[in-house]
């Protein structure tokens, strides 16, 4: 074996380790969250913005899945809308918090980008290992 092939042989595990590390980094992102602490009223109860909570609940009621579930339970969206003003601030806030946890749906652009990055990394690793890709 000549010195050039020995150097290539030594680079292959490093390239493979780097590619696996990058794939792991992209596949398992770390979760981090930060937020301001809620303000408190003079009685010690957390202050809530009722109008913002009502808006969140109304937006949730526009979701097709939520509307279908309400219909399945025999409740119409107009009945819920009529009952909202009579609910306490704490109840409206709790519903708003729970509605934020519902899946919002969306496109799969992020998933497609990650898959493309993984495919490109695999191709780069294969090229670094001096292999050929043959598609028949």
**Domain boundaries of the chain, sorted by first residue:** 3-23+46-128
Q: Count CA atoms within 13 Å of residue 65 on its CB side.
A: 6
The whole-number pLDDT of residue 46 equals 57
Are 132 and 16 within 8 A, CB to CB? no
State the distance between the two ends of the chain, measured CA to CA, in whole angstroms: 32
Quick check: pTM over 0.85? Answer: no
- Between CA 104 and CA 37 the distance in angstroms is 25
**What pLDDT, in 10s, does the model give residues 52-89?**
888 888 888 877 777 788 888 888 878 888 888 888 88
**DSSP-assigned letters across all residues of 50-68:** HHHHHHHHHHHHTSHHHHH
Residue 49 C-alpha from the chain's centroid = 26
The whole-number pLDDT of residue 54 equals 86
């Amino acid at each position: 074996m000549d010195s050039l092939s020995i150097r290539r042989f030594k680079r292959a595990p490093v390239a493979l380790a780097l590619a696996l590390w990058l794939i792991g980094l992209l596949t398992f992102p770390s979760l981090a969250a930060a937020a301001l602490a809620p303000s408190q009223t003079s009685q010690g109860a957390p202050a809530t913005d009722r109008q913002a909570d009502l808006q969140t609940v109304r937006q949730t009621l526009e979701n097709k899945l939520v509307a279908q579930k309400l219909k399945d339970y025999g409740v119409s969206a107009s009945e819920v809308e009529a009952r909202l003003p009579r609910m306490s601030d704490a109840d409206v806030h709790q519903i708003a918090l729970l509605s934020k946890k519902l899946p919002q749906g969306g496109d799969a652009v992020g998933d497609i980008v990650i898959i493309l990055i993984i495919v490109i990394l695999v191709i780069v690793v294969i090229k670094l290992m001096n292999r050929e890709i043959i598609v028949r």
